[in-house]
Chains A and B, each alone.
Chain A
């Protein structure tokens, strides 16, 4: 599904964010990317939704080299990759329903499609009751659920989560990660960057550790934050 091969990323200011990374993720796999701030977690994820192109090496999604993708095909790739962030990135003047429907609006979904898909996505994240609420009326955990619903409403094959629990209390973090795990079990490939030790240790999924832009450990069979 995702194949990263000999990838190096050097930012224009000369910062070397990743050095010769190799990673292969199967369809439906759940992978934690762990490491300290600045270890290259976000950079690695940004390669997958083609926010960045590698300085060296290749990134293949379903066999297609994303760096070589013509500009006009980037949107097509992104419809197949849902992304969620630490800061939720919801639109404050739209309610829950509209925030989720926004992802369908911009790809030209019909009204009927919206009325079918938005309730399904909201049900999946357990927010059916709050579809009329505005972001400022929701807790952090609920806001992150809305952003997950928005990321999933186009049925992407891949879900990228960049520090999804960075702004949340431990209890709520655990709920969000459980939700991501459920989504993974339904067949979506999930890549979750985090430095939250508790959730990684709790879930026992595959863990890839980054230090200074290099992969130092890949616990394929499932592991904790530090130990294999």
Chain B
């Protein structure tokens, strides 16, 4: 393939995109919507998983000790469990001070009003893998000298369940959208083939190869995919950066996945997906309609 062939192919592609202006617009828009929906699901899943992960990493198990327990022995027993990464002894005085500070009170004043420190000595244990939280907690409950085991199981589990749910519905919605997009692209290509049937006929007669006849249509599909990818990236990133700013301002405890590298990778991913969809749609259209000419 030489330079004038490439020039001719690009010219043919551009001509047919322009000639079917409205249909081209519809195809690119549809591709944009499809990729928008896919992107939204992707971002929601990604962030929920990220949040669940952050929460899980923060989470640890608080092992309350009985009055007469030997903290050293309990700690050794906890560390003997291979799933436990680290432990820290937290005497009741420290726990009391922390609680008071969290409540915004002066520890001395609080102690006065209570007469006695009601909190037990405790050991804080961190599992290697947040997934092992429940199992480690259960095992810790059986150690002698342990009064109670506490951990924030609900929030992590709930986030992970939600992320999983969104991922599944995202994949289902994504597949449906992908199928619809393929259908629309292949229909556009079919119309283009129909509009250019004289030309295709002449091309076949003067000895153009089949791939040479097909390439402009494949490029056209890729063009719609690229337009959809670019437009959806711009829209999604604009909305996402607004959301990120809002979350920063009002929901400071949340942390979204957001930086330049991420934005660039996300954009490239969306473009690639778009081009892939476009090319696949074209191939379906060509397969279904070109042989009839």
Contacts and interface: CB of A to CB of B under 8 A. Distances in A.
A83 B206 CA distance: 8
Interface residues of A, number: 25
B210 A71 contact: yes
B219 to A, nearest CB: 15
A108 B205 contact: no
B258 interface: no
B202 A110 contact: no
B208 A107 contact: yes
Interface stretch (A8-16, A20-28, A72-80, A196-204): A72-80
Contact of A106 (B1, B2, B8, B198): B8
Nearest to B11: A105
14 contacts: A75-B210, A78-B207, A79-B206, A79-B207, A102-B203, A103-B206, A106-B203, A106-B207, A106-B213, A108-B2, A108-B5, A108-B212, A151-B206, A154-B207
A216 B1 CA distance: 48
Contacts, number: 57
Q: Is the interface of A mostly helix, strand, loop or mixed?
A: helix
B202 A89 contact: yes
Q: Is the interface of B mostly helix, strand, loop or mixed?
A: helix
Given A89-B198, A91-B198, A91-B199, A102 B206 contact: yes
B201 interface: yes
A107 B4 contact: no
B207 A107 contact: yes
B4 A108 contact: yes
Contacts of A114: 4
A111 B1 CA distance: 13
Q: How large is the interface on B (under 10, 10 to 19, 20 to 34, 35 or more residues)?
A: 10 to 19
Contact of A111 (B4, B203, B206): B4
A106 B201 contact: no
A154 B207 CA distance: 10
A150 interface: yes
Interface in A45-79: 49, 71-72, 75-79
Interface of A: 49, 71-72, 75-80, 83, 89, 91, 102-103, 105-111, 114, 150-151, 154
Contacts of A89: 198, 201-202, 205
| Most central of A72, A75, A76 by chain B CB within 10 Å | A75
Contact of A105 (B8, B198, B213): B8
B21 to A, nearest CB: 15
Contacts of A105: 4-5, 8
A111 B2 CA distance: 10
- The 4 A-B pairs at the shortest CB distance, nearest first, are namely A79-B207, A106-B208, A78-B207, A103-B206
A35 to B, nearest CB: 23
A24 B245 CA distance: 83
A78 B1 contact: no
Contact of B212 (A76, A106, A151): A106
A102 B11 CA distance: 12
A111 B6 CA distance: 12
A135 B207 CA distance: 22
Contacts of B203: 102, 106
B4 A109 contact: yes
